Amino acid sequence: MKTAVVTFPGINRETDMMRALKLVTGKAPVNLWHTETELPGGLDLVVVPGGFSYGDYLRCGAIAARSPIMAAIRAKALNGLKVLGVCNGFQIITEAGLLPGALVRNASLHFVCREVKLKVENNRTFFTNRMKRGQIVSCPVAHGEGNYICDADTLKALEAEGRVVFRYAQGTNPNGAMNDIAGIVNGAGNVIGMMPHPENMIEPLHGKLDCLPLFESLLAA
C-alpha cells in the first residue's frame, strides 16, 4: 500500500502521522511538499495531517487549501483517490471544498488537549472497516477550532446518508460541534475528515491502542 503525507509550512503532526502509517503499512509514506503540482503515481491514500499550516492566520486551513498540492489532490480525489484529513488537515480539505461545512472556534474559546470518547457511526469507510458500528473508542483531541458547523440542509443530508463517521460520545464533545460530529465522509466515500488525533493512540506508550484498528482498516480498504 502506497501512502503520502502532505507538509505545508506550519504543519507539525506530519511525523506522528508518518510514524503511524509506517507502523501499519510497513512502508514509509511519501512526504509531499506543498509546492508540488503533481502526485506520485500509484498512490492509495493521501493524508493531510495536523498542525498550524500558515500559523492558522487568516482562517484555519484557508491558505493551505489554495496551495498547488491541494489542486492536485482535489483533482485526484474527484477520481476516487482516498484522502484523510486530520485536525488542521480536516480544516484544509474542508476549505478546499472536498467536504461540506466548516470548523470554527471551540465553544469554550480555549485550545483543548484531552482524551475524548468517539462513537463509530459508520463502519463502511476505508478508515473504519475494522470497527463495529456503535463501537466506542478513546482518542485524544488537540485543537482550538474544531467546532463543526454546517447549514441545516447539509446536516440533514450528512445524517440521512450516514456520512457522520465519528461522533463524540458520553458527553465528551470538547468543542461544541453540531450533533457531536467529530468526523465525516464525502458522498463518494473516498474523503474523510476528522478533528481527533488517532495517530496519537496506537502504541503502548500512548496508554491505549484504541485507534490502531482505524489504521489497520486502511489495509482492507
Partner 1 sequence: MRIPNDVRITPELVAQHGLKPEEYQHFLDLLGREPTITELGIVSAMWNEHCSYKSSKKWLKTLPTTGKRVIQGPGENAGVVDIGDGQAIVFKMESHNHPSFIEPYQGSATGVGGILRDVFTMGARPIAALNALRFGDPSHPKTRHLVSGVVAGVGGYGNSFGVPTLGGEVNFHARYNGNILVNAMAVGLADADSIFYSKAKGVGLPVVYLGAKTGRDGIHGATMASAEFDDKAEEKRPTVQVGDPFTEKCLLEACLELMASGAVIAIQDMGAAGLTCSAVEMGAKGDLGIDLDLDRVPCREERMTAYEMMLSESQERMLMVLRPEKEKEAEAIFKKWGLDFAIVGETTNSLRFIIKHEGEVKADLPIKQLGDEAPEYDRPWVEPKRQPVLAAQHVPAPVDLKTAILDMMASPALCSRRWVWEQYDTLIQSNSAQVPGGDAGVVRIGKKKAIAVSSDVTPRYVEADPFEGGKQAVAECWRNLTAVGAEPLAVTDNLNFGNPERPEIMGQLVFAIKGIGEACRALNFPVVSGNVSLYNETNGQAILPTPTIGGVGLLRDLSTMATLAFKKAGQKVIEVGGPGGHLGQSLYLAIVHGREEGAPPPIDLAREKAAGDLIRSLIKTAQVSAVHDISDGGLVTALIEMALAANLGVTLDRLTPAELFGEDQARYVVTARNARAVLAAAKKAGVPARVIGEVTATPSLKMGRLTLSLKALRQAHEGWFPAFMAKEL
Q: Of 91-99, 121-129, 137-145, 162-170, which part binds partner 1 (CB under 8 A)?
A: 137-145
Binding to partner 1 by residue 13, rule CB under 8 A?
yes
Binding to partner 1 by residue 16, rule CB under 8 A?
yes
Among 28, 58, 75, 113, binds partner 1 (CB under 8 A): 113
CB closer to partner 1, 21 vs 184: 21
Check if 161 is active-site.
no
CB of 88 closer than 8 Å to CB of 61: yes
Q: Please identify which residue in the block is written with the cell numbers 458500528.
A: 133
Binding to partner 1 by residue 54, rule CB under 8 A?
yes
Binding to partner 1 by residue 37, rule CB under 8 A?
no
Binding to partner 1 by residue 95, rule CB under 8 A?
no
CA pseudo-torsion sign 209, 90, 47, 18: negative
Binding to partner 1 by residue 22, rule CB under 8 A?
no
Q: Of 13-21, 40-48, 126-134, 159-167, which part binds partner 1 (CB under 8 A)?
A: 13-21
Binding to partner 1 by residue 28, rule CB under 8 A?
no
Binding to partner 1 by residue 205, rule CB under 8 A?
yes
Binding to partner 1 by residue 133, rule CB under 8 A?
no
Check if 199 is active-site.
yes
**Which is catalytic among the residues 95, 121, 145, 199?**
199
Of 66, 18, 26, residue with least CA distance to 46: 18
Binding to partner 1 by residue 110, rule CB under 8 A?
yes
Binding site for partner 1 (CB under 8 A): 9-10, 12-13, 15-16, 19-20, 51-52, 54-57, 110-114, 140, 142, 144, 197, 199-200, 203, 205-206
- Active site positions, annotated: 87, 197, 199
